[in-house]
Amino acid sequence: MSFSDVPTVSVDDVPEIGDGVVLLDVREADEWDLGHAPGALHIPVADVPARIEDIDIDAEVYVVCRQGGRSVGVVAYLNNIGFDAFQVNGGMVAWQRIGRPLTADGDTPAKIY
């Protein structure tokens, strides 16, 4: 499976999270804790099948990981079972590079790299 096999969008083209739009962050908990997009849904890649009910099947689902490797498989899986999912090219590294908002829990400033 490759990037060309799944629908992909630039971080610039990810719409605002809200009604009808889900940003699914599939990174591990330690990566999430460092920084993530406000309003994103966090489900580590290995947990996606078990937590599929947590993802709105009627929404456009934008899947993000650190740089794009893990999200490819998740997008293929979601689209195969009826979701409208897109891989976010460049992942959270690209998200931070272009200055999209980040948040983190606690007193530490949010960062991806």
| CA-based R_g, the chain, Å | 13
Q: Are 31 and 44 in contact (CB under 8 A)?
A: no
Residue 70 has φ and ψ, to the nearest 5°, of -70, -35
Q: For residue 106, indicate whether it is catalytic.
A: no
Q: Are 12 and 86 in contact (CB under 8 A)?
A: no
Active-site choice (11, 37, 61, 65)? 65
Catalytic annotation, residues:
65
